[in-house]
Amino acid sequence: MSPRQRRDQPYKYQRVAADLEQLAAGLADGERLPVTLDELAQMHGVSAAVALQAAREVEAAGLIEVRHGAGMFARKFTPLLRHGSRRLSRDQWESGPGIQAADAENRAREVDRIEVTQEQQPPLAAAALGAGPVVVRRRRYLIDGRPVQLATSWLPSSIAAGTRIAEPDTGPGGTYARLAELGHAPARFGEDITARMPLPAEREALALPRGRPVLEVTRRAVTADGRTIEITVMVLDAAAYVLSYDIQA
Amino acid sequence: MSPRQRRDQPYKYQRVAADLEQLAAGLADGERLPVTLDELAQMHGVSAAVALQAAREVEAAGLIEVRHGAGMFARKFTPLLRHGSRRLSRDQWESGPGIQAADAENRAREVDRIEVTQEQQPPLAAAALGAGPVVVRRRRYLIDGRPVQLATSWLPSSIAAGTRIAEPDTGPGGTYARLAELGHAPARFGEDITARMPLPAEREALALPRGRPVLEVTRRAVTADGRTIEITVMVLDAAAYVLSYDIQA
DNA sequence: AAGTGGTCTAGACCACCTT
DNA sequence: AGGTGGTCTAGACCACTTC
């Protein structure tokens, strides 16, 4: 008789999720929640599956992290400001310590898992470099001990092979300083930004909690005469970064 | 006795998810999968809950969309290129049709839900404008009939109140053209970009499938004499956009 | 009305972390 | 070893979409 009306009551898992949010709000970053999933289920008179579903929702919203076997932990964060315009200005890499330093204010930064190879077939992203063999640099960046970025760079072997660019440590000023010394100074850059959910391997390498997106930044370095000499694809923990750009009207 | 070793077998739901991926891969965007969750569960000899869990995984990866009561649908997409540098150049808004037009190549674009109000207390994002009352413009953008962006702008009432900026239709060239006419031409812009999971209201307004992140772009418009005259916060369907910026070395 | 996804239970058992 | 999260079942019942 009465017309079926849309459900207006929240589901149980939503009420439990709201409660969990409250619990997490009062805690500092990384602090463990004072309840377990089982307790939460009992408190609300629901089954364990429902408590878990609620926890997943709150985790997806970025407020807690659910760790297998360990418990639930509050999550807050201060993202790192990554300044797209300033950080790529010539003086940053010409004499400075490299462009990563332009970001990480006073925070401990590291690079690990550096890997340099030569490959024949560049992937799609690197097609702009031309058809020849390429030097590929892969590495991972950490801030305050936490992995926040994966980066892969492609350069034509004709330019980079046998130079310091093909070594793990590229020296002061990094790759762009070396390119300048070799007569291929970047004159301008283009950055393309998208966001998406991470692939399993990325989740693993960045130790991402479930439900955390990544930013994918593709940078092209172009010389004054219009040649693309380097392409870098960066995958960033979205919660760890704010990307900032200046634009002239 | 034997040391507990890590699980190396995939879970059932992972195998079902892999199968679902295959199924989706062969279909065009929006096409309905030829199986239901129940069938999928039977095919793999698992319970319905497991089939659902698998579907959620594949949905989170952006390959399908699970629609309540309707079935599962393949998802592919062609994101829109949003050019940060070119689109904010002076000639785009001085004489052109407004900056949105700089993006949407040949695709049908619309604005709906325009709402203009005056408010006393600007939120945190708008603090740079100063303490006075502000004109607030909220609207939603659609491409090809699909909502892809929510935007909210704040301007000081001392500048915008009583002008065309405070009306739903700001006229040719949009807000920035009007500001220029009023003697407050933007000279430069700053854009800050983050990615995150959407709030429930955003998921609703953008009709986002579960597991889809959004890009949040905060733009500040600054005059030649250094005053911040407008702040816009945009929330974008991450799958619908590629943000692109040019940088001089 | 029929079909399809979604929530929920109660309980078994497995996997991971901490100590 | 004990605690805590994770997968999975079998089935009941609810909610949304389509016809």
User: From the alpha carbon of A35, which nucleotide's C1' atom is closest?
Assistant: D4
- Token pair, residue B29, equals 């965007």
Residues of chain A with Cβ-Cβ distance to B88 below 8 Å are 247, 249
Say whether the CB atom of A37 is under 7 angstroms from strand D.
yes
User: In this structure, are residues A12 and A52 in contact, taking their beta carbons and an 8 Å threshold?
Assistant: no
From chain B, pick out residues whose CB is under 8 angstroms from the CB of A212: 197
Per cent of chain A over pLDDT 90 is: 41
Residue B42 pLDDT exceeds 80: yes
CA distance A144 to A127: 35
Question: Would you state the pLDDT for residue B3?
Answer: 36
A3 vs B146, higher pLDDT:
B146
On whether the CB atoms of residues A39 and A16 are closer than 8 A, the answer is no
Give the number of beta-carbon pairs within 8 Å between A and B. Answer: 122
Contact A196 B213 (CB under 8 A): yes
Query: CA B122 – C1' C4 distance (Å)?
Result: 46
pLDDT band at B157 (very low <50, low <70, confident <90, very high): very high
Quickly tell me which residue has 């990866």 as its tokens: B61
With bands split at pLDDT 50, 70 and 90, how would you rate the model's confidence at A29?
confident
| Rounded average pLDDT over B137-165 | 89
Q: Give SS3 for B115.
A: strand
Nearest DNA or RNA nucleotide to A44 (CA to C1'): C8
Nucleotides of D under 7 A from a protein CB: 2-12, 14-18
Closest CB to A79 among B188, B194, B244: B194
Cβ of residue B6 near strand C, that is under 7 Å?
Answer: yes
Average pLDDT, chain A: 83
B125 part of contact set with chain A, CB < 8 Å: no
Residue B107 pLDDT: 65
Distance of residue A28 Cα from the nearest chain B Cα, in angstroms = 20
**Nearest-CA residue of chain A relative to B14?**
A200
Over 50: is that where the pLDDT of B1 sits? Answer: no
Please state whether strand C lies within 7 Å of residue A12 at its CB atom. yes
Q: In chain A, which residues fall in CATH 3.40.1410.10?
A: 80-244
Please state which architecture CATH assigns to domain B12-74: Orthogonal Bundle (1.10)
* Beta bridge mates, B188: A248, B222
* Residues A191-241: tens digit of each pLDDT: 999 998 887 678 778 888 777 889 999 999 999 999 999 999 999 998 888
Q: Pick the residue with more confidence: A50 or A30?
A: A50
Report whether B157 contacts B132 (CB < 8 A).
Answer: yes
Average pLDDT of the residues in A39-67: 89
Which CATH topology does A80-244 take?
Chorismate lyase (3.40.1410)
Burial of A198 (0-12, 13-18, 19+ CB in 10 A): buried
Q: Is pLDDT above 50 for A89?
A: yes
Report the alpha-carbon distance of residue B48 to residue B54 in Å, rounded.
10
pLDDT digit string (tens) for A130-150?
Answer: 778 899 999 998 877 778 899
> pLDDT per residue over B190-238, tens digit each?
999 999 888 767 877 888 877 788 999 999 999 999 999 999 999 999 8
One-letter amino acid of A150: L
DSSP A201-230: HHHHHTTPPTT--EEEEEEEEEETTS-EEE
Residue of A nearest to B215 (CA): A195
Cβ–Cβ < 8 Å for B102, B86? yes
pLDDT of residue B209: 75
How buried is residue B14: exposed, middle or buried, by Cβ count under 10 Å (0-12/13-18/19+)? middle
Q: Is B79 on the interface with A (CB under 8 A)?
A: yes
Confidence of residue B2 (pLDDT cuts 50, 70, 90): very low
Label residue B8 exposed, middle or buried (CB < 10 Å: 0-12, 13-18, 19+).
exposed
Measured CA to CA, the distance from residue A32 to residue A69 in angstroms comes to: 13
Closest nucleotide (CA of B53 to C1')?
D7
**Lowest-confidence pick of B30-34, B125-129, B217-221:** B125-129
Token reading at B108: 């049908």
In B70-184, alpha helices (H):
90-94, 157-160, 174-181
Query: Tell me, in Å, how far CA of A40 is from C1' of D7?
Result: 19
Portions of chain A given CATH number 1.10.10.10: 12-74
Q: Is B96 on the interface with A (CB under 8 A)?
A: no
